[in-house]
Chains A and B, each alone.
Chain A
Amino acid sequence: MSNRIQFQTKVYVAALMLASSAAWSASPLPSGDKLLLTGGVSQVEGAAGGGLTPWAVIGGYGTRDQIGGNAFYTRVEADDYALDSYGVLVGLYDRVEISVARQSFNTENVGALLGLGQDFKFKQDIYGVKVKLVGDVVYDQDSWLPQVSIGLQHKRNDQGAVVRAVGAKDDKGTDYYVSATKLFLAQSTLVNATVRATKANQIGILGFGGDKDDSYKAQFEGSVAYLLSRNLAIGAEYRMKPDNLGIAKEDDWKDVFIAWAPTKNVSLTAAYVDLGNIVIRDDQKAFYISAQIGF
């Protein structure tokens, strides 16, 4: 990892710490009455979940008679690329979640090498909806029934010509998923399993469908989190991805993470992510940091 990346990461972490301590020292801000961290954090596409994958939880701290919401900013700093993602979500009565996020993927030096230009960026807007079907992630401790939600993420990439040139069939697409989340409270452990039907290449950054394959594929995404205290959790995630493009192999993503919520109004997540191959750069490792503010 280069010094530049280390420096950038340090600056981001410092800024996030500053923001959170400012929020912490302020008088308590109003928030909903869901228990701390039980709304998850904002995953990279804007839905409530872990870092990489949506969970069945409804984001924000609103209980079934309240509305919750939050805004997030995430930076994924990989060896040869960087991804910025930011957005907002609203949780309605612990039943429906609506989210909007924008991702900006910076190709840095690779952009110049490919003739796209130094720091060429792919941008993508993501509109998400999630609905809780059954179960309660916290209180159903006497049964094996998880909380189950279904959702979709509609994505629109701004580089239609480029993604088609690399073999993608479309610059927009919609992922459909079902998530099951279970808190094993006696074990202080949370487990999530998500199955996503998707055509997205690198979650949509490189468009949808491809020369190798243009059909929806069911992909498994899993998370395990261990709760260290009310406001601190560590865990790991795995996200399978399709491999539709002939020009470049696409790998599954995995991470280890730590999430900290000093108050209901703030959470910080840090992760170390293995992104595998991305276009002409193999074995991409990344630092992921994310801040969320909300109620």
Chain B
Amino acid sequence: MKPSLVRGLMLVALFALPAAPAFADTTGDSAPLKRCCGGDTGPYKDFGEKAGIERLMRDFMEGLLADPRTRPFFEGQNKERIILQLTDQLCYALDGPCEYTGRPMRATHQGMGISRTEFNALVEVLQTSMNKAGIPFRSQNKMLAVFAPMERDIVTR
């Protein structure tokens, strides 16, 4: 092996090592939820404001329970609580007049063993619900862009 390559690998190892505990951190807080639209409430209105978001989340929950890829994670859970928390979360993310007070994403999903496959399935179910509710595609994507980075906190295998 060339000396320069060895030096390079050592350098990579040096940077990688301090970063490793961050991945194993089970209590570390996830990034705070952002808001989509810099005060523009157009997308929030497209979602039908808070009442529309809650209707959407009820349909979403039905979809999650119907899809074999996502059902195991929601069956037997307190669905009403999840629906209300998700409603607040979406309302906040869409620049609506809501506060999100739920637990941090990483702490909540740690140990659930959620795969990328199952996470994508959840996104598909949500997209289907949003289409059913007639929410414009552009506004759907503005909301999804806020939640997309959470994949790192939720998918653990």
Chain A residues proximal to chain B, CB less than 8 Å: 32-36, 63-66, 94, 136, 138-142, 185-188, 227-230
Query: Which residues of chain A are within 8 angstroms of B144 by Cβ–Cβ distance?
Result: 185
Main secondary structure of the interface of B (DSSP, over half): helix
Residue contact B124 to A35, C-beta cutoff 8 Å: yes
A94 nearest CB across to chain B (Å):
8
Main secondary structure of the interface of A (DSSP, over half): loop
Query: Which residues of chain B are within 8 angstroms of A230 by Cβ–Cβ distance?
Result: 127, 131, 137
Query: Which residues of chain B are within 8 angstroms of A141 by Cβ–Cβ distance?
Result: 145-146, 148-149
Selected A-B contacts with CB under 8 Å, 25 pairs? A32-B117, A33-B116, A34-B120, A35-B120, A35-B123, A63-B115, A63-B117, A65-B116, A94-B116, A136-B151, A139-B151, A139-B152, A140-B148, A140-B149, A142-B31, A142-B148, A185-B142, A185-B145, A186-B141, A186-B142, A186-B145, A187-B141, A227-B137, A230-B127, A230-B137
Query: Which residues of chain B are within 8 angstroms of A138 by Cβ–Cβ distance?
Result: 148
Bound complex: CA A34 to CA B116 (Å): 8
Bound complex: CA A136 to CA B150 (Å): 13
Query: Which residues of chain B are within 8 angstroms of A140 by Cβ–Cβ distance?
Result: 148-149
Query: Which residues of chain B are within 8 angstroms of A94 by Cβ–Cβ distance?
Result: 116
Does B121 interact with chain A (Cβ within 8 Å)? Answer: yes
Query: Which residues of chain B are within 8 angstroms of A228 by Cβ–Cβ distance?
Result: 137
Does B2 interact with chain A (Cβ within 8 Å)? Answer: no
Residue contact A188 to B149, C-beta cutoff 8 Å: no
Does B53 interact with chain A (Cβ within 8 Å)? Answer: no
Query: Which residues of chain A are within 8 angstroms of B152 by Cβ–Cβ distance?
Result: 139
Does B64 interact with chain A (Cβ within 8 Å)? Answer: no
Bound complex: CA A187 to CA B145 (Å): 9
Query: Which residues of chain A are within 8 angstroms of B149 by Cβ–Cβ distance?
Result: 139-142
- Given A186-B36, A186-B145, A66 and B124 contact (CB-CB distance below 8 Å): no
B141 nearest CB across to chain A (Å):
5
